[in-house]
Every structure is written in C-alpha cells, then in structure tokens.
Amino acid sequence: MSHTVSRAFISFRIGTPLWMPEERFRETLSLLEEHRGVTDEVTFFTSETHPPLPLPVIEERAALLARRMPEVRRLGYRTGINVLSTVGHHNENLPNSLSGNYTPMTDIDGSVCRGSFCPNDERLREYIRRLYELVAMAEPDYLWIDDDVRLWGHMPIRCGCFCDTCLALFAQESGTRYTRDSLRQALGSGPLEGKLALRRAWLQHNRETMARLFRLIEETVHRVKPGLPLGFMTGERYFEGYDFDAWAAILAGPEGAEVLWRPGGGFYSDEALAGLIGKAHDIGRQVSLLPESVRCIESEIENFPYQRLKKSARTTALEAAAHIAAGCTGAAFNVLSMYDEPLDEYRPLVAHLRETRPFLDLLVRTFGRYQPVGLHTGWGKETFAAGNAVQGDWFESSPWSASAHAAEVLEIGIPVAYSPGQARVTALSGESAYAMTDEEIRRILSGGALLDAQALEALNALGYEELTGYRVERFVHEDCIEVLTGHPLNGEFAGRRRDGRQSFWKCPAAVLVPTQEGAQALARMVDYGDREVAACCQGVFENRLGGRVGVAGYYPWLFLQSLSKSTQVKRLLRWLSRETLPGFVATFHKATLWLREPESGLLAAAVLNASLDPAEGLTLLLRTPHEQARVYDMQCRETTITASGVDGPYRRFVLPPIGAWEMRIVVAQ
Ligand SMILES: [Zn+2]
C-alpha cells in the first residue's frame, strides 16, 4: 500500500448545544463557511455528558441529525455522528442518563463507576445494539465510537471490569475461578513467572472484551448501512492490551469497510506547554500500531472546557501540526463552545486554524504514513504486565513510567521512534524488560541500548548480565553529584558537574560496577565535601553481540539540559546507534525532532522549537548524501539551504531562525 496521503483530513466536532437549537446550528455552519477550508468534515456529538443516554433521547437526537446532516452535506462537507457514550465514562449527569438493571464498571475491590457499564453485560449489549441501529439509520457518512470505550480511568474507579460476569468469563478462559480478592492476590504476589503469566492472561482477556464489543458494533452498523466507515477514538491503552491492529480489523468487518482512527490524550491549556509535546508522543505511540490500511487518522484536539483564554489559537494549531509530525494524517478539532451561546469569541481561533491549514496539508503530504525513526522507549502491547513486577500491587503501577520516561532526551533534539522496527537506539526504564520476550531483549542488546539502573537490574535478573556489562552495587539516596570523567565522549566537558539535588527531587543514584572487560565510566559521583561516592554512575560497554550499551545511574531521565550534559547525551546516543540515527539537533537548543526516511537518501524532518526563545543557528546533522534542503515555515514559505560541512556520515544544515513554539519542515533531497 502506498504511504502517501495527498492532504490532511480535518474535522470539526460539534457539541449538542451548538447543533440542536436551530439558530445556533445556523450560526455554527456560517462560522465554518466564513472560514471555508478550515474543515472537511462536520461531526456531531450525541451528548454533552459522558454516561450513556436513554434510548428515547438518542432516538430523538438521531431523528434531528437525520435532518441536519443533509444540509451540511449540501455545503460540501462530509458529515457524521460521534457517539460520545457507548459504555459510559465518569459519574456525571446520572439523573438524566441510562439507568436500570445494568452492571456498573467494577474495580478489583468491588467499587463501581455508576456512569459506566460493563461491556460484557448482555443487557448493556442489547442497549448498545439498539443505540448503534438508531445512529446508523440517521444516514451519516461515518460513525465515531468515542474513548469511553476503555477499561481504564472511569472515575471514581481506576480500572475495570472485575464484575462477577467478567470473573466468570476469565474462569472459562483461564480455567481458574478467582474472586476479586484472590485475583488481586495472585496478580500481585508469588513467583515472578506465574504472576507475569496471569497478568498477560488478564491483558488478553481485556483485549477480547474490547474485541467482543467492536464485533457487536460492526455487525449492528453494517447490517443497517453496509460499508459505513467506523472510527474509534483512543488514548494510550496499556491496560486494554493496546490491540489497535486487531480492533481495526474487526471494525472493518468482513467486507473491509474503511476504518478511521482518532488518537488522543490530555492537553487542555497553555499553562504547561510541555504537555503539547507529551501528548504528541502519546499519539505517536498509538498511531504506530495502526495498520497501513487506516489512512484517516485525525488526532483529538480538545480545548475542554472550551474557555477561549485557556488555550491560545497558536497552541491549538501547533498541536495539530505536532500530532501530524508524530504520525497522524489529520486532526479533529473539538474546540468550540459547550454552551448554547453566540460564537463570536471563537472567530479568531477558527480564522487562525484556517490560516494554518495549508501547513497541515504540507505536513501530511511530506510525511504520509511513514513512521518516524530514532529513539524508542521499549514499550509494547505487554508493557503493563511488568508494572511493579518484582514487588508491589499491580493496580498501583503506571505503564507511562516505562514508555514516556525519555521525554528530556527527546527535548534536546534526539529524533523519536514509536515502534521497535524504527528504533536506532532503545531507552529502557524500570521493569519493562520483564514484559519482553528473550528475542526482543536480544534485539535491543545487540543494537544500541540506553538503560537506567532499574532496567539494568531487571535485565541482569533475567540473565543478561554478560550483555549489559554492569551491575548496581547499591543506591545512594542523598547528596550525590555527577562528575563527567575524561572519557572521549565527554571531551572538553571532562570535570563538569551535574547536581540533581536529591534533597529536592528524590531519585536514588546508582553505584555501578563493571562486570565485563571493556566497560568504561562516563561519570563518577562525589558528595558536597568532594569525597568520591562512586567511581562510576554512568558507563558504556560494547558486548559480544556487537551491541552498545549505555547505563545511566544518576538522574537518567531528568536534568539533561545543560550544555555539558546535553552534548554528552547526544554524543552518547550517536555512539550507541553506531551513527545510524538519521539525524539530530547538533546545537544547544530545546527542540523536538521527528525524522522520516521515505526513500533511500530522502530525509524529511519536522523540528519544533519548544522554547520561548527563538532558535537561532539551530543546526541539524542529517544522514543524507544531498547538499541541499528545503525548509518550510508555518506559512509554507520555502527557503533552500546548503549543507555547510560534513561530520562523519552526516551533513550539517544550519536552519534559518525558528520562532518560539514554531515548527519547520525540512526536506533533504
Ligand atoms: Zn464486567
């Protein structure tokens, strides 16, 4: 299948307060028409609150939508329905929501969310069948299933479903009958291997719960409207087993209908802009699991609760660009009012999104469905199984600590990869290795691997000490300062210090001991009296498989943004990858980099200056034989630059200045 996509897929999602009242519906359409081209699709929410609605309410709204959608279609937009609530989400608006003899989403302690129901409950499945019949009969161009379809995060509980029906299903699947208590016990104690096997079995059970629900929706909808495209909105779905490719295949149905995807996350305001980058990486991970056949990947851009001053127009547009850089082929804007009120205050936002549209199209044309190449964090569908693997409660663990830990490494201009196939270096944190197969671990350790001390301990415990080159002697919890050694990778920064201030930001520092010949220290540790605490807290080792391993025992993922440390980390990654990274930001800038190699010799990059200072003289080293690169700013203005030198396999390209929180596309060809 071709990787190219000709332009962005852009959608606006419209809440019930804007489409149900006649006057507001007209005003919403004219706002879009005034900025014609800002969107290709107009998608209608079924509800403004998250628990499922009673069927008579759905019936009434579907009938109104059946009248609204042809009007929208006449204006030249595709139009469809976004079912906000299938199983439900959160305790909200309960008096006006679905009630009756349905099993609530139940956690391992037996606590429930009353706004969310068990997807395996036959009565709820009957409700869902009727719900999707009603919306399909309204003749939409497509139907979206929203992100309430999940098992994690239905407040006030953390995860479900552990109701009696689900436990009985698991008894059939596993051959063991558990109570909630005995299951929790078995998932969190006993020998490691048994515990991990049971967790894997529960993740598989969750995958099948999701699959069963999707099969019901697919059969229902395609019985009413054969071939109707179905879309699903996700977040990172570790607990559900992250089975996106399998779920996409189910939603396509036996006839292979089009499947749409909307990867999402949580980023709602300008207050912490780093969240924009974090969400883009969350989204990149989600996209990486989608089959090539999924072409329309519209990231969720959500400004909930939609107060205009909370998130600027620039941020909203940049978000869409960052999500496309991470792998999407479009964006779905959910940014207008959640009230029946005039939309005047949203005009500048819609105008700015219209102005940015050509840049979004250019990004999609440049990157298509090619995946970014660079640093991978070792996460996978099974990652959640390894949470608190050795000790502790599985339900208290967080999968994000084993997938998003390398954020600062990526902030200094190392390119990101979201799938192992595109990894030039793998950065492992914590216990995630326990969820991996021997084959996966050997692949990582025979390439370039960056490990924190906990990852080192996990790999050694699994029997890979000969390949890692180090062991942890002990952890020191106070007063440690890192000092760079005279190793060539440190170069002119030998003797430079880095103090993570353990008294403020708790982070145990590892005393590392080499276990193999040839292991070399990159840093040692001293205390405030300059006494040596450890001869090594960071080291490198080349193993017999030809793999290059870097172990970082001192604030491995935090405080990497001084000139000395960021330069060392870049040199280290270049060494670990054996110079196979397709490129990186060589200068001292805070920049996020997505790089693709669409074909041999052709390199396409998106560079985001993630600083309020303009990036002057930002220099990319690109592994390309080409002397020239085209640079596009967010107004699509093109500049051609010429390489200013060679550094090993890389050519050096100095970019024109990049404004604060702006992106550039760079194509070397
Ligand atoms: Zn259940």
What is the Å distance from ligand 1's center to 169 Cα? 9
Q: What is the average pLDDT value for the chain, to the nearest integer?
A: 97
Q: Which amino acid is at 618?
A: L
Q: If you measure from the C-alpha of residue 242 to the centroid of ligand 1, how many angstroms do you get, rounded to a whole number?
A: 19
> pLDDT tens for residues 436-454?
999 999 999 999 999 999 9
Helix (H) or strand (E) holding 409: helix 407-411
CA 204–ligand 1 middle distance (angstroms):
15
Phi first, then psi, for residue 488 (nearest 5°) are -55, -30
CA of 174 to the centre of ligand 1 (A): 16
- Say how many Å lie between the CA of residue 98 and the centre of ligand 1: 17
pLDDT given at position 1: 67
> For residue 121, how far is its CA from the centre of ligand 1 (angstroms)?
7
Q: Residue 101 Cα, ligand 1 centroid: separation in angstroms? A: 13
Cβ distance 157 to 112 under 8 Å?
Answer: yes
> CA-to-CA distance for 26 and 63, rounded, in angstroms?
18
Centroid of ligand 1 to alpha carbon of 134 (angstroms) = 25
Domain boundaries, the chain: 9-100+116-157+211-367, 374-577, 599-668
The CATH H-level (homologous superfamily) assignment of domain 374-577 is: Class I glutamine amidotransferase (GATase) domain (3.40.50.880)
Residue 286 CA, ligand 1 centroid: distance in Å? 25
Q: Tell me how far the alpha carbon of residue 129 lies from the centroid of ligand 1, in angstroms.
A: 18
Q: How far is the CA of 120 from the centre of ligand 1 (A)?
A: 6
Alpha carbon of 49 to ligand 1 centroid (Å): 22
Q: Out of 226-230, 329-333, 400-404, 652-656, which region has the weakest mean confidence (pLDDT)?
A: 400-404
At the topology level, CATH places domain 599-668 in Immunoglobulin-like (2.60.40)
Q: How far does the centroid of ligand 1 lie from the alpha carbon of residue 99, in Å?
A: 16
The span from the CA of 130 to the CA of 86, in Å, is 11
- Of 61-65, 375-379, 396-400, 498-502, minimum mean pLDDT range: 396-400
Q: Which architecture, in CATH terms, is 9-100+116-157+211-367?
A: Alpha-Beta Barrel (3.20)
Distance 489 CA to ligand 1 centre (A): 54
For residues 352 and 313, is the Cβ–Cβ distance under 8 A? yes
Angstrom CA distances, 391 to 107, 386, 387, 431, 553, stand at 21, 10, 9, 11, 21
Cα 88 to ligand 1 centroid, rounded to whole Å: 13
Task: Provide mean pLDDT across the span 313-323.
Answer: 98
CB 406 within 8 A of CB 375: yes
Distance 250 CA to ligand 1 centre (A): 21
Ligand 1 centroid, distance to 194 Cα (angstroms) = 24
Q: Is the pLDDT of residue 354 over 80?
A: yes
- H helices of 153-191, where? 164-174, 180-188
Per-residue model confidence as pLDDT tens digits over 54-86? 999 999 999 999 999 999 999 999 999 999 999
Instruction: Using the mean position of ligand 1's atoms as its centre, give its distance from the Cα of residue 125 in Å.
Output: 12
Q: How far apart are the first and last CA of the chain?
A: 23
- pLDDT at residue 567 is higher than 90: yes
Ligand 1 centroid – CA 167 distance (Å): 7
Distance 216 CA to ligand 1 centre (A): 16
* 600 pLDDT above the threshold of 90: no
Contact yes or no for 31/347 (Cβ under 8 A): yes
Task: Give the distance (Å) from ligand 1 centre to CA of residue 354.
Answer: 44
Cβ partners under 8 Å of residue 305, min gap 6? 338
pTM above 0.95, yes or no: yes
**Rounded Cα–Cα distance for residues 252 and 249 (Å):** 5
> Helix, strand, coil % (nearest 5) of the chain?
35, 25, 40
**Top-confidence residue, 598 or 182:** 182
575 pLDDT tier (thresholds 50, 70, 90): very high
Please say if the pLDDT value at position 603 is more than 90: yes
Neighbours of 365 (CB within 10 A): 15
290 alpha carbon – ligand 1 mean position (Å)? 27
Q: How far is the CA of 635 from the centre of ligand 1 (A)?
A: 50
pLDDT grade for 369, boundaries at 50, 70 and 90? very high
pLDDT above 90 (res 598): no
**pLDDT attached to residue 450:** 98
Cα–Cα distances in Å, from 108 out to 68, 89, 157, 160, 172? 44, 18, 9, 7, 18
Residues lining ion ligand 1 (Cβ < 5 A) are 118, 120, 161, 163, 165-166
Q: Per-residue pLDDT for 601 more than 80? A: no
CB atoms inside a 10 Å sphere around CB 204? 17
Query: 355: burial class by Cβ within 10 Å (0-12, 13-18, 19+)?
Result: middle
**For 76-111, b where at least 16 C-beta lie within 10 A, e where not — what string?**
ebbbbbbbbbbbbbbbbeeeebbeeebbbbbbbeee
The H or E element spanning position 427 is: strand 423-428
pLDDT higher than threshold 70 for residue 400: yes
Question: How far does residue 37's CA lie from ligand 1's centre (Å)?
Answer: 44
Say which residue the tokens 């090619």 belong to: 370
Dist. CA 171 → ligand 1 center (Å): 13
Site of tokens 């999701």: 210
The rounded Å distance from CA 181 to ligand 1 centre is 15
Query: How many whole angstroms from 163 Cα to the centroid of ligand 1?
Result: 4
Q: How far is the CA of 562 from the centre of ligand 1 (A)?
A: 50
CA 166 to centroid of ligand 1, rounded, Å:
4
Which among 525, 431, 517 is positioned nearest to 470, based on CA atoms? Answer: 517
pLDDT, one tens digit per residue, over 155-175 is 999 999 999 999 999 999 999
pLDDT-derived band at 292 (thresholds 50, 70, 90) equals: very high
